[in-house]
């Protein structure tokens, strides 16, 4: 199977970093974004940019840094945006309702797919987003976690959010899966029949409840999610058991 390509509409999702202090975080955020198929990085008054440290940490995503939009204010970064989601981990009063990423992601992806520009807005590493910055946004998102210890680095937060978005894009991991290997139920049933014959042939059912035993075996092999090649091995083994029981045992070469 060929590698699928990420859909073009992901260009409609921008990651906005407001006043980031550490250039390394900008680089790591770019890497996180590109890994999840995003490309549009906006930087609002970064303390230091461009920077060699950002380039190093971006690794193969340095192209996102080169095409990053650097602006003075969050308002400029949200130009043309219909839905701007402010990332926060603080309790805030009287603004938009607070959503977890999984609640919001389907809407953001659907809007981007429909041609709207959407933004995820991340605040400064130490201070988060200011009240004024949050007020420019129309969604509030918080990543759930351990209430007693919540320490999510800026780039980690970008990774989690972009992972969550990507998981709603519908681009699975089919290209990584082995193809056509799972056995069908008739193949599993065929093997179970073969196993039953074999067990009968070698006298395994004597003084045992064959029906009950086979029911357990069927349950086991149905649950196991047998692959076709595994069935070939097991049936080959059954055949050899019967031959051996009939006296046809080849010399042991082990």
The footprint of a second copy (CB under 8 A) covers 3-6, 28, 31-32, 34-37, 59-61, 89-94, 96-98, 100, 102, 142-153, 155-156, 159-160, 163, 166-167, 171-173, 175-178, 181-182, 225, 227, 229-230
For a second copy, the closer CB: 55 or 71: 55
Nearer to a second copy, 110 or 182 (CB): 182
Question: Shortest Cβ distance from residue 34 to a second copy (Å)?
Answer: 5
CB 86 within 8 A of CB 133: yes
Shortest Cβ 117–a second copy spacing (Å): 20
Q: Least distance (Å) from a second copy to the CB of residue 98?
A: 5
For a second copy, give the closer residue by CB, 163 or 204: 163
Least gap, CB of 101 to a second copy (angstroms)? 8
Nearer to a second copy, 5 or 206 (CB): 5
CB-nearer residue toward a second copy: 71 or 98: 98
- Distance CA(149)–CA(94), nearest Å, equals 25
In the numeric block, the tokens 């649950």 are attached to 223
Query: Which positions ≥6 away from 24 have C-beta within 8 Å?
Result: 53, 54, 56, 57
Return the DSSP state at 198: H
Residue 38 or 121: the one with the smaller Cβ distance to a second copy is 38
Q: Say if residue 64 is exposed, middle or buried (CB neighbours under 10 Å; 0-12, 13-18, 19+).
A: buried
Peptide bond before 50: cis, by omega within 30 degrees of 0? yes
Counted residue by residue, the chain has a size of 254
> Residue 251 Cβ, how far from a second copy at the closest point, in Å?
29
Q: How far is the CB of 247 from a second copy (least distance, A)?
A: 33
Identify which of 109, 122, 111, 114 has the alpha carbon closest to the alpha carbon of residue 167: 109
203 CB-near residues (< 8 Å, 6+ apart): none
């Amino acid at each position: 199977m060929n590698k699928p390509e990420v859909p073009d509409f992901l260009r409609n999702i921008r990651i906005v970093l407001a006043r980031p202090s550490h250039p390394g975080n900008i680089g790591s955020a770019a890497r996180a974004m590109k890994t999840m198929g995003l490309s549009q990085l906006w930087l609002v008054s970064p303390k230091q940019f461009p920077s060699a440290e950002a380039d190093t940490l971006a690794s193969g995503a340095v192209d996102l840094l080169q095409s990053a939009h650097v602006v003075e204010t969050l308002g400029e970064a949200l130009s043309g945006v219909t839905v701007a989601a402010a990332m926060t981990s603080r309790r805030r009063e009287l603004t938009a309702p607070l959503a977890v990423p999984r609640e919001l992601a389907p809407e953001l992806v659907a809007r981007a797919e429909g041609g709207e520009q959407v933004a995820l807005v991340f605040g400064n590493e130490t201070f988060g987003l200011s009240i004024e910055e949050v007020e420019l946004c129309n969604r509030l998102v918080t990543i759930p976690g351990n209430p007693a210890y919540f320490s999510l680095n800026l780039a980690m937060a970008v990774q989690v959010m972009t992972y969550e978005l990507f998981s709603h894009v519908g681009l699975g991991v089919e290209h990584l899966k082995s193809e056509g290997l799972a056995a069908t139920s008739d193949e599993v049933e065929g093997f179970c029949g073969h196993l039953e014959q074999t067990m009968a042939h070698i006298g395994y059912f004597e003084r045992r409840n064959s029906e009950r035993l086979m029911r357990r075996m069927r349950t086991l092999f149905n649950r196991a999610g047998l692959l076709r090649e595994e069935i070939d091995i097991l049936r080959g083994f059954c055949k050899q058991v019967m031959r051996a029981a009939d006296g046809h045992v080849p010399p042991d070469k082990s």
